[in-house]
Chains A and B, each alone.
Chain A
Amino acid sequence: MNPSMLFRHEAILALLTGVALFGLAALSDKFFTPGNLLNQGRLMSEVGLVALPMTFVIVTGGIDLSVGSILGLTAILLGVFWQNVGLPLPIAMVAAVVCGTLAGFGNGFIITRFKVPPLIATLATLALYRGLAEGISEARSVRGYPEWFFFFGQGEVAGVPFQLWVLIICTVTASVILGLTPFGRATYAVGANETAARFSGIRVDATKLWIYSAAGFLSAIAAVIFVSRVTTTRSDMGTGIELDVITGVVLGGTSIFGGKGTVVGTVIGLVLIQALKNGLALSGVKGDGTIVVIGAVLIGAILAGALFDRNRGGS
């Protein structure tokens, strides 16, 4: 892997993000304030946390469309464990996260054991997990959480929102794992050529199981933070988050075919999207206009990256 080629897409993206930040700051003086930037960090934490394992997933050449449903299911289970089953809230939180991780493991199991293509498997579990959330909750919300619980989604540590700290720590961890550990190298190998990876002794199935479980785990953590932020549970939470996450990961330079991508790229991609959503809104663009811009930026950025690769003779 040629380092300079690797950094090409991320560098373009960082440049684009920088330009965007400047432009948005020029359009509205409320954009580039510490208060706003920290707030945006808070708001993008849930998508960010899910995007970290999604990077791994897409690097292996797979995809996970069910992360939103896992988020909703975990949120419901949190409420059910606490209110209906009567567990103390901290235990309910842990139990719910365990269930979310199991849901992710379920995805990995279907993919590795039954060889179902990830797109199809997670398309099915998208419906199944969301359906479980709807069925278990029977459309009831759970509210009335104690004050201390709201710290996760609404609190701050040293002036920085709590979930942003969580995101930062997880980002660094994920970066290190993907870039510097044997597991990370195995991930790239599986994505680049699964058969060759298998023949060279890499435990492909175990790697995938870990990765999809991690997706479930982080979706569940995001769910807990989300419930804490909005103080209630609903079975439709997290609907559509998978598209935001995948857009961020792909924008960040991870190839959908697998074998290429970095956590840093994903984070920059997410920052760009969040900045656009926020900055455009602040400068008076309405919701529909923002959606169009983000779609155009996605295509444009990938196009730019692809053209650069071509110029350098890459394939």
Chain B
Amino acid sequence: MKVASRAASGSRSGPQRFLSGYGQELIVTLAIVVLFVVVGTLNPRFLSDNNINSIIAGNAYIAVAAIGMSMIIIAGHIDVSVGSLIGVIATIAGTMAVSGFPIWMAWLVPIAISMVINAGVGTLVAYTKIPSIVVTLGMLSILKGGLISATGGSWITDMPPEFMIAQFRLFGIPSSVYFMVVLTIIAAIFMRLTDFGRAIYAVGGNIEAARAAGLNAERTVIGVFALHGLFAGIAGILFATQLQVIQSTVPPNLELTVITASVIGGVSILGGIGSVVGSTLAAILFATIGSALIFLNVSAYWLRAVLGLMILATVLADMLRRRRSS
């Protein structure tokens, strides 16, 4: 595993270093701005409050989940079960709310459960050297099947209004947006400035070097999985409270969407590089693209092809940028 070198050589100027360090985030932001300008010119309703709100608020939970996913990937691991996990969290939360538990419990207990499950996965990964993709592949099946078994396929409706946290508004903006922004900032500071955050980068970059430097790699791995569980849990609560109904299934390919958001946002799948800010921006970019394609009247039959092409283009652009700056 290569050692990540964020601090470039001393022969480059400040702005150049900033660019190479945050290049991907800038590209993603640029893409979002370009989209808004182009589509907004063609159809001004794209820029309306309602639309921007629905683009960002409706997909904020994906950004929150991507924060945790980015941490995992930076640490050199991956979780392909996050989609099913969000479904399980949402169902537990909804069931608790409907069964009369205090609202704060319906919010916090599922998050705690998510952290415990993921800490368990982390322990397995840290101590047995089983690749995380394998463990989470198995978890994917267990959670998905378990969810159907537990709910019998039925939906949860009639949840108390006090429970619907994602729909609370402050100054007209749904709370899920605030969650997304605040959590991203906290996570970014955490990753950059705390010892544990730097440990995550170190373990992902070169685990042996990290151990040699005195870090407890196993504890770091378990910790980052628990953190991922925290963010996935919050995402699950937001997902549960966005709509009046909780299905026993989640949007198809949700885990791939979350992973793609992290990766497009600049997190390197090889570990050790990336930022959570990038993944939040990428999640917003995806949501924007999804809406833009409809506003632009792209033939409905070709929507997914265009999306795939865009992902590919962004990835290629990123690779070329990396090669040029290294």
Contact = CB atoms under 8 A, between A and B. Distances in A.
A277 to B, nearest CB: 11
Interface stretch (A18-26, A121-129, A222-230): A121-129
30 contacts: A65-B256, A114-B319, A114-B320, A115-B319, A115-B323, A117-B268, A119-B78, A131-B304, A131-B306, A131-B309, A135-B301, A135-B305, A139-B301, A247-B141, A256-B134, A287-B148, A288-B149, A289-B145, A289-B149, A292-B142, A292-B145, A295-B139, A295-B140, A295-B143, A296-B141, A299-B139, A299-B142, A302-B130, A302-B134, A302-B135
Nearest to B314: A124
Nearest to A306: B128
Main secondary structure of the interface of B (DSSP, over half): helix
Interface in B23-81: 78
B315 A116 contact: yes
B308 A114 contact: no
B160 interface: no
A295 B142 contact: yes
B185 interface: no
B305 A132 contact: yes
Nearest to B323: A115
B323 A134 contact: no
A257 B304 contact: no
Nearest to B131: A256
A49 B309 CA distance: 28
Q: What 10 A-B pairs come out closest when comparing CB atoms?
A: A131-B305, A295-B141, A128-B308, A291-B145, A127-B308, A131-B304, A292-B145, A295-B142, A288-B148, A299-B138
A141 to B, nearest CB: 14
Listed residue (A65, A130, A132, A295) with the most chain B CB atoms within 10 angstroms of its CB: A295
A134 B298 CA distance: 13
B131 A257 contact: yes
Interface string A160-173: 00000000000000
Contacts of B128: 303, 306-307, 310
Contact of A131 (B139, B256, B269, B302): B302
Listed residue (A127, A135, A250, A255) with the most chain B CB atoms within 10 angstroms of its CB: A127
B263 interface: yes
B323 A123 contact: no
Given A126-B308, A134-B305, A288-B145, A298 B319 contact: no
Report the interface size class on chain B. 35 or more
B135 A299 contact: yes
A120 interface: yes
B12 interface: no
A103 B268 CA distance: 25
Given A123-B256, A290-B145, 20 more contacts: A114-B319, A119-B78, A124-B312, A125-B312, A128-B305, A128-B312, A132-B305, A135-B299, A255-B131, A286-B149, A287-B148, A288-B149, A289-B145, A291-B142, A292-B141, A295-B139, A298-B134, A299-B138, A302-B130, A303-B128
B138 A295 contact: yes
